[in-house]
Amino acid sequence: MLRLTIDIDKITENYRSVRKICDGHGISLVVVAKICLTKLDIVQPIIDAGARIVAESNLANLSSLPGHVERMLLRCSLAEMREGLANCDYVFLSELSHFETCAEARRAGPRHAGPRHAGPRRGAFISVEAGDLRDGVTAEELPGFVDKAARVRGGPRIAGFAANYGCLRGFVPDLEDLVRFRELCDRSASRAGLGGYEVSIGGTTVFDMLAEGSLDGLADQIRIGEAIYFGYNMSLAKKIPGLHDDALILTAEVIEAREKLVTDDEPHGLNAFGHPAFKPRTGIRLRAILNFGELAAPTRSLAPLLPGAFFEGATHDHAVLDITDCEDPPRPGDLVKFRTNYHSAAQAMLSPYVEKVMATRALPAMEERG
């Protein structure tokens, strides 16, 4: 048995807590749902709790959302733009060719729809490079870029500006960075004569600044996924107080438990992934072999909930857990639980080998080790 248990109650409680903080500072909350593929059985309780805008990176996943929810597309290819973005209200764009292609699609009309349905329905956020060195128009380019984008005939309305932090480089902005970003957006908008725009910031990386009020007046909108689903700030490597960090739990089965002599003095080559094997703990070690490997979930992004256990590595289809120091080591057939993070949960969600189970506190708990 290999199962990802998704606790809907805990996720919804996290959403309510984050939403309360946002409301207290006058900042609107966008729920980033790509971690769960925007599956409606996971997202619907959050929508019922008041979520107004849901963000995704994959256009097809937005189609499952009910009509009253505003849909934000965080990444878009030119091919998707040519087909028309009728499924989304907002899209993130960072090239003039993006605005021009959207305009062409509107004039031509997407397949099976008329021009007025080509989308995005409400407008485009211009992605701005703000330090993480992923997508985004640079600060030097932005004023002129906004001028040109605003003049694209039939192009999407400029709804605002978006910055992304903590994803590629792990860049964590300070207050001065955010002040400069806001001032850059305001100057660029003023020069182009824009009104009614929003400044959108992502994501959990700046959660502490949100909670303490440092974003007041600097951001109109914040995009958050990790805090809601995991109660954790990966950029700062810390749990967020008051939030659940165990809403998504992976449960695996022990298929072998055996003592083995582990040495590190024999010659060896690269492992199954083409990497040098890391140095193991040597001596007689009790090892549990689990019924999953890196194809299902990356072990470096899993935390065993069994005291004393730690990973000694994994192949594509097996994971090795050292259980020598466990007070009550698991035996074949026993189940072991692991806390997931964004990386491991995303892989498990995509894997066809992992059963996904939605749980609430009304459901009986499974018998698991750890």
**What is the DSSP annotation of 283-328?**
EEEEEEEES--TTT--GGGEEE-STT-EEEEE-SS-EEEE-TT-SS
Q: What would the pLDDT profile of 287-315 be if each residue is shown by its tens digit? A: 999 999 999 999 999 999 999 999 999 99
d(CA 172, CA 92): 21
Three-state DSSP class for residue 142 = helix
Cα dihedral angle (338, 344, 347, 352), rounded to 10 degrees?
0
Q: For tokens 């189940």, what's the residue?
A: 335
At the top level of CATH, which class does the domain 248-359 belong to?
mainly beta
- What is the reported pLDDT for 368? 46
Q: What would the pLDDT profile of 118-166 be if each residue is shown by its tens digit? A: 679 999 999 999 999 999 999 999 999 999 999 999 999 999 999 999 9
- What is the reported pLDDT for 365? 45
Residues of the chain below pLDDT 50: 112-116, 364-368
Whether 309 contacts 315, CB under 8 Å: no
Q: Structure tokens of 121?
A: 């329905």
Mean residue pLDDT across the chain: 94
DSSP for 201-248, written as a single string: EE-GGGHHHHHHTTTTTT-SEEEESHHHHHSEETTTTEEPTTS-S-SE
- What is the reported pLDDT for 8? 97
* In the chain, domain spans: 8-235, 248-359
Architecture of domain 8-235: Alpha-Beta Barrel (3.20)
H or E stretch including 254? strand 248-262
Contacts of 144 (CB under 8 A, 6+ apart): none
d(CA 331, CA 82): 56
Q: For tokens 């990966």, what's the residue?
A: 234
pTM: 0.94
